[in-house]
Chain A
Amino acid sequence: MPICFEVPPEILNQTQMARMLAEQVMRSISRYYDEHEHERPWEYINVIWPFIQQIEAANLKRSLRRNGAEEEEPKEKKRSTTHVRMIHMIEALSWGDAGIYLCTPSSALGGAAIQAVGTPEQKERFLTRFTRGKPKWGAMAMTEPQAGSDTSAIQTTARLDPQTNEWVLNGTKIFCTNGRLAGCESDGLIVVWATLDKSLGRAGMRPFVVEAGTPGMHIIHQEKKMGIRASDTATIRFENCRIPYDNILGSPELVRPDEHEEKGFKGAMKTFDASRPYVAASAVGIARAAFEFTRDTLAAQGITIPECAPLHKLSAVQRDLLQMEMDLKAAWLLTVRSAALLDAGESNTLEASMAKVKAGKVVTSITQKCVELLGPLGYSQELLVEKWMRDAKINDIYEGTGQINTLIVARRILGYTRSELK
C-alpha cells in the first residue's frame, strides 16, 4: 500500500464512541476517583465491559486461528487493524482520564503474554473468561523491589514439585497494574514472571499464569501514587503458591544462554511491542487533553495563533502552543507507525521504543507547560490540568522508562548488544 494517513471509517466510528464515553462518563468522575484512591470507577467499568468482551472474543478467535494456520491455509487475508484500532481507543479514553482508562476490565498485559506464547489449550482455558460474565481483569507481575528496569535480576522463584506436578512460586512483586482487581476482586488472572534457575539469568525466566484466588497469592498492599490514582497498583506476595504444571507459558525446558540466548525472555519482550505503542497512545491522549484545554482557555482570553505567522509576529505563549502542537503530532505519528507495523506483521521493536520515548517526553513537557501557562488556574485543583500533569509522568516511566527505551533505540541503530552498550 502506498503512503497513506487515512483513518478507516470503522475505526473513526469506534473512536467517536470512545470520545463520547470519555467526555460524558470519564470526565465527570475524573476528580472524584483522583480524590478517592482505591475506589473502583464502576460507572466506567460497567459501560466499557460489553465492548471489551467483544474485542476479547475477536482477539481470542484470531489468536486461535493463528495457531491453526498450518492446517487451513489462509486465503488472501485482509490487513489487520487491531493495534491501530487500539491506539485510537486508548488515546481517546486517556483524553478522558488516564487513571480510569487503566481500570478497563480486560486481559491486558496478562492476555498479551498468553496470546504471544500460550498454547491453544492455554488460550482457551485462560482467556475465555474475558468474553463472558462479570468484568474481569488480567495483569502482569514483573517488577520486584530490587528489580525494576533490570528484569534479569528478579528473585521470585518457581520450583517444580515432582510429587504433585505443580509449580511452587515464592517471592514478592510490586507495581502490578490491576493486580488487586485481577488477583482477588474478580475471576481474573495474573501472569507472573519467575526464575527456574537464577544462574541462567534471563534464560531461566518464565511466565506463569496464576488465577485469581489461588492459595498462597496474597495482595498485601496498594500503592498511593502521584497520579493515575484511580488505577490499582498492587504488591503481591507469593508464599508457596501452587499452580498446575500446565500454567507455565512457553517451554519449561531450560537452554543454556550461550546456546540459545534468552528464549523464555523473548515472550515478555514481545508483549512490549504492543504495550509500548499503547502507553504512547495513552500519553498522547493526556497531552491532547491538556493542550486542547489550554489552547481553548487562552483563546477565550483572546490569545490565538495567527495562521502561518512569521516567528517575529508570535509571542512566547503562542510559540509554546505551536511547540506543543508539533510535539503532539510528532509523538502521535510515531505511535501510529509503531502500531501499523505490528498490524502488518512486521517487526516494530525499534519503532515502538521510539514512540514510547517521544510520547513519554512530550506528555511530560506539554502538561507541565500547560500548568505554567494557565498560571494559578493551571495549578489549581478546581481544574483538571494539574491532575493531567500528575497523570502524565507515569508514561515516561512504566513499560520501560524513557531511558530504557532510549537505550533500546540506541542499541538498534548502532547494532550493539547489551554488553557493548550498557
Chain B
Amino acid sequence: MYSFDLTDEQKMLTDAVNRYATRQLRAVYRDAEESGALPDDVIQTGWELGLLPALIPEAFGGFGEHSVLNGALIAEELGYGDVAAALHLLSPNLVAIPILLCGTKQQKQTYLPQFCTETFPKATAAFLEASITFDPYDLNTSARLVRNEYVLWGQKTMVINADEAETLLVYAREGQSGNTQAFLVPAKDPRVHINRRDRWMGFHALRTFTVELEGVTIPAENKLGGKAGIDLKQILTCSRIAVAGLGVGLAKAAFEYARDYAKERVAFGEPIAHRQAIAFMLAEMAIEIDATRLLVWEAAWKFDQGKPAVHDAYLAALYAADMALKVTDGAVQVLGGHGYIRDHPVELWLRNGRGLVTLVGSVIV
C-alpha cells in the first residue's frame, strides 16, 4: 500500500543530517564559495556522521546495507545545506558504491574497509569528459588490454578532490568491447596528471580538477567487477537518484528563503507575499518540489525493491534538474535586486541549480 512516512530510523538519520546541514554547512557555505574551499573540520564532522559506512555491510567493515532511498533522503538534506559541500562529502561514495554494486568479492574485501575509517577517504571517480557530445556509453577515454595490463588514455573533468586522492575510479571505453568499464587507478601514478583546477559557474567551494591519463598502466584485476565488468545502468541509476535528491534539497532551501523574504519585505504598504504575483510563484515552487520528491522516492524505492528503476531514475533526474533551476530562478526573482546581490544566498543557489544537470556520474548514493 502507498505510504509516504519515514521510518523512525530514517527520521533519526534525516534529523542528524539536517542538523549538520543547517548548523554547519549553512554557517560556512558563503565564505567557502568565496574562498574556494570548505573548512576541513566541517568536512570531518560530516564524515563522522557515518553516512557511507551505514551503506556498507558489516562483512566489509561497515554497519548497514545499501539503500538508495536512504541515500536520496541524505542527498536532500545535504543539498538543503549546500550542494558543493554535499558533493565533497559524498565523493568517496563515487568509488565505494560502484564497488559495492559491481565489485568482485576480492575487490570488496580489499577496498570497502578503506571507506569505514575515521578519516575522510582519499578516493574519487573520474567520469565526466569535457565534450558537448559526452555520452556515458560512448566515452573518449580508452582502456586497452595489453597482455595482462590495461593502458588508459584520455582526459577527464570535474574530478572532485583529485589532488588529494590516492585512488581514482576511472571510467573508460574498453578496447575490445567498446563498453564503458571502470578501473581502479592509483592517483599518484606518474602518468596520472592532475591538471588545472576546474572553474564552474557554481560549486566554487568544491575543488574539482581536469585529470589526464597518459598511458597509465594498471593490472587487469583493477577492472571493476572482474571479467563481467560493471553494470553502468545501475551505477547511473544510483547517481541520478542522488542528483535528483540534491535538487529537491536545493530547491527547498531556495523556496523557504524566498517565502520568508516575501513575508517580510514590504512594498506598497504590505508584504509582497500578499500579492498573487509573488504568492503564486511560491505555490508553484512548493508543488513542484513535492512532485519531484515523490518521483525521487518512487525511483529509489523501486531500486531498493529490486524492481526496474532505470527509466524512473532517468526521468526523476531530468525533472529534478529542471525543477531546481526553475525554483532557484524564482527565488532570485522574488528577491528582486536583492536576489542578485551576493549578500543573499539565492544567486549562489541559482548558479548551483543550473549545474545539477551535469552532475550525473559525479555524485552517487
Footprint of B on A, CB under 8 Å?
A: 1-8, 79, 81, 84, 307-313, 322, 325-326, 329-331, 333-334, 336-337, 340-341, 351, 354, 357-358, 403, 406-407, 409-411, 413-414, 416, 420-422
Q: Are B290 and A6 in contact (CB under 8 A)?
A: no
Q: Are B134 and A340 in contact (CB under 8 A)?
A: no
A5-B298, A326-B319, A421-B273 known; A406-B284 Cβ under 8 A? yes
Q: Does B94 contact A (CB under 8 A)?
A: no
Q: Are A4 and B286 in contact (CB under 8 A)?
A: no
CB closest chain-A residue, reference B279: A410
A409-B286, A413-B282 known; A326-B297 Cβ under 8 A? no
A307-B310, A414-B263 known; A337-B283 Cβ under 8 A? no
Contact partners of A1 in chain B: CB under 8 A: 1, 3, 5
Which residues of B, 288-339, contact A by the 8 Å Cβ criterion? 288, 290-292, 294-295, 297-298, 301-302, 310-312, 314-315, 318-319
CB closest chain-A residue, reference B300: A3
Q: Are A410 and B276 in contact (CB under 8 A)?
A: yes
Contacting residue for A322 out of B280, B297, B315, CB 8 A: B315
Q: Are A5 and B295 in contact (CB under 8 A)?
A: no
Shortest distance between the CB of B27 and any CB in chain A (Å): 26
A5-B297, A308-B314, A322-B315 known; A407-B2 Cβ under 8 A? no
Contacting residue for B5 out of A2, A325, A358, A409, CB 8 A: A2
Q: Contacts A326-B315, A337-B2, A413-B283 known; list 20 others, CB within 8 Å.
A: A1-B3, A1-B5, A3-B6, A3-B10, A3-B301, A5-B2, A5-B302, A307-B311, A308-B236, A337-B294, A340-B4, A341-B4, A357-B283, A403-B280, A406-B280, A409-B287, A410-B280, A414-B282, A420-B274, A421-B274
Shortest distance between the CB of A13 and any CB in chain B (Å): 15
Contacting residue for A313 out of B7, B135, B295, B310, CB 8 A: B135
Contact partners of B136 in chain A: CB under 8 A: 310
Shortest distance between the CB of B311 and any CB in chain A (Å): 7
Q: Are B2 and A326 in contact (CB under 8 A)?
A: no
Q: Are A336 and B2 in contact (CB under 8 A)?
A: yes
Q: Are B291 and A333 in contact (CB under 8 A)?
A: yes
Q: Does B106 contact A (CB under 8 A)?
A: no
A416 to B280 CA separation, bound complex (whole angstroms)? 13
Q: Are B276 and A407 in contact (CB under 8 A)?
A: yes
Q: Does B233 contact A (CB under 8 A)?
A: yes
A410-B276, A410-B282, A410-B283 known; A333-B294 Cβ under 8 A? yes
CB closest chain-A residue, reference B311: A307
Which 8 pairs across A and B sit closest by C-beta, in order of nearness?
A333-B294, A1-B3, A330-B291, A410-B283, A410-B279, A409-B283, A340-B2, A4-B3
Interface SS of chain B: helix
CB closest chain-B residue, reference A325: B315
Interface centre among B136, B283, B297, B301 (most CB of A within 10 A): B283
Contact partners of B294 in chain A: CB under 8 A: 330, 333-334, 337
Contacting residue for B273 out of A6, A326, A403, A414, CB 8 A: A414
Q: How many A-B residue pairs have CB under 8 A?
A: 133
Q: Are B259 and A414 in contact (CB under 8 A)?
A: yes
Shortest distance between the CB of B133 and any CB in chain A (Å): 6
Contacting residue for A6 out of B1, B233, B263, B284, CB 8 A: B1
Contacting residue for B287 out of A3, A313, A358, A421, CB 8 A: A358
Q: Does B132 contact A (CB under 8 A)?
A: yes
Interface centre among B2, B233, B263, B288 (most CB of A within 10 A): B2
CB closest chain-A residue, reference B237: A308
Q: Does B69 contact A (CB under 8 A)?
A: yes
Q: Are B314 and A3 in contact (CB under 8 A)?
A: no
Contacting residue for B318 out of A81, A322, A337, CB 8 A: A322
Encode B111-154 as 1/0 by CB contact (under 8 A) with A: 00000000000000000000011111000000000000000000
A84 to B2 CA separation, bound complex (whole angstroms)? 8
Shortest distance between the CB of A363 and any CB in chain B (Å): 14
Which residues of B, 231-263, contact A by the 8 Å Cβ criterion? 233, 236, 259, 262-263
A6 to B3 CA separation, bound complex (whole angstroms)? 9
Q: Are A4 and B282 in contact (CB under 8 A)?
A: no
16 A-B residue contacts at CB 8 Å? A1-B3, A2-B7, A5-B298, A307-B310, A308-B236, A308-B311, A337-B290, A340-B1, A354-B287, A358-B291, A403-B280, A407-B283, A413-B259, A413-B282, A414-B279, A422-B274
Contact partners of A409 in chain B: CB under 8 A: 283, 286-287
A330-B295, A334-B290, A416-B274 known; A5-B301 Cβ under 8 A? yes
Contact partners of A309 in chain B: CB under 8 A: 135
Contact partners of A411 in chain B: CB under 8 A: 279
A406 to B288 CA separation, bound complex (whole angstroms)? 12
A420 to B135 CA separation, bound complex (whole angstroms)? 51
Contact partners of B286 in chain A: CB under 8 A: 354, 409, 413
A336 to B274 CA separation, bound complex (whole angstroms)? 31
Shortest distance between the CB of B240 and any CB in chain A (Å): 9
Contact partners of A358 in chain B: CB under 8 A: 287, 291
CB closest chain-B residue, reference A11: B1
Which residues of B, 1-56, contact A by the 8 Å Cβ criterion? 1-7, 10
Contact partners of B292 in chain A: CB under 8 A: 330
A391 to B295 CA separation, bound complex (whole angstroms)? 27
Contact partners of B311 in chain A: CB under 8 A: 307-308
Which residues of B, 338-365, contact A by the 8 Å Cβ criterion? 357
Q: Are B302 and A357 in contact (CB under 8 A)?
A: no
Shortest distance between the CB of B241 and any CB in chain A (Å): 13
Shortest distance between the CB of B169 and any CB in chain A (Å): 20
